[in-house]
A = this chain, B = another copy of it.
Amino acid sequence: MYEWSAEVIAVGNEILTGRTVNTNSAFIAARLTSLGFQVRRVTVVGDEVEEIRECFLEALGRNPKLIISSGGLGPTYDDRTVEGLAAALGRKLVYNQEALNEVTRKYKEKGLELTEERLKMALFPEGATPIPNEAGIAPGVYVEVNNTEILLAPGVPKEMEEVTETFLRSYLKRRPNVFYYEESLTVRGVMESALAPHIKRVVREYGLYIKTHPKGHEINDPYLEVQIAGSSYDKDEITRKVKNVREIISRIAMSLGGKLT
């Protein structure tokens, strides 16, 4: 199975307090998975430079191809992601001219003053470049370190999506063509624990990702969704393989008394 690893980071006390559900990371993880990445970790840290610094250092230490974070790029005192990344990389914070032009233009258009808080959104780790944010003010921050590419996206969901998609469009132009394929089936009347040994065997044999998602009560109303997924450089090969394994699991489920729904 193809492996192109990625990590997702979310910065924000509102997630650590459970006030906000971390939908940003789910969006980013799903997008990366659909592009053939294996997301190996999602980490949430608070709005403190030292915590953010450690979090990036740990992620970089695991040597992923790509890290995408969301949150902490805005104008307030607790938007510290850029500072945290700069500390992790041992780089100075400098005004990025392109980002400065962008932020200045957006405020000027409205006849608004450029305060220190607003200009802060153009402070980048040295060597980083901005990713345009048409949905808001703060641009995304892109930097490459050794073999890891890093994107910092804003935390407001529509801005995060905008910046992430803009980044991925340019990223995709530069990377090999990996194809991810997934199918699922739903079975009633077979317990997850009854299907488990068979799935274990199929996973060993075919090397695909297979996961059962229990939707009902294990004993009283067993109802499972079985997800089968894989990625490959060869679109036809992975599609054929996933479809084949889906058929095999369907037959096993039926032989155990299950009904496909």
Contacts and interface: CB of A to CB of B under 8 A. Distances in A.
Given A21-B26, A27-B18, A28-B18, A75 B196 contact: yes
A206 to B, nearest CB: 14
Contacts of A4: none
A42 B51 CA distance: 12
Contact of A193 (B22, B28, B75, B200): B75
Of the candidates A13, A74, A76, the one having the most CB atoms from chain B within 10 angstroms of its own CB is A76
B43 A16 contact: no
Given A17-B33, A29-B15, A40-B16, A211 B22 contact: no
Copies in the complex: 2
A193 B117 contact: yes
A14 B107 CA distance: 41
Contacts of A161: none
A39 interface: yes
Nearest to A12: B211
A101 interface: no
A45 B39 contact: no
A19 B117 CA distance: 37
Interface in A26-55: 26-33, 38-47, 51, 55
Nearest to A219: B110
A115 to B, nearest CB: 7
Given A29-B17, A218-B136, A22 B42 contact: yes
21 contacts: A17-B229, A18-B31, A18-B39, A19-B30, A19-B33, A21-B21, A21-B22, A22-B42, A25-B44, A41-B51, A43-B43, A47-B211, A58-B58, A75-B192, A75-B196, A76-B196, A77-B203, A106-B219, A110-B219, A115-B197, A116-B197
Sorted nearest first, the 5 A-B pairs with minimum C-beta distance are A18-B30, A18-B29, A75-B193, A42-B44, A77-B200
Given A18-B32, A19-B227, A75-B218, 19 more contacts: A16-B29, A17-B39, A18-B27, A19-B30, A19-B33, A22-B22, A22-B26, A42-B44, A74-B193, A75-B193, A76-B199, A77-B196, A77-B199, A78-B211, A112-B219, A117-B197, A118-B193, A137-B218, A156-B214
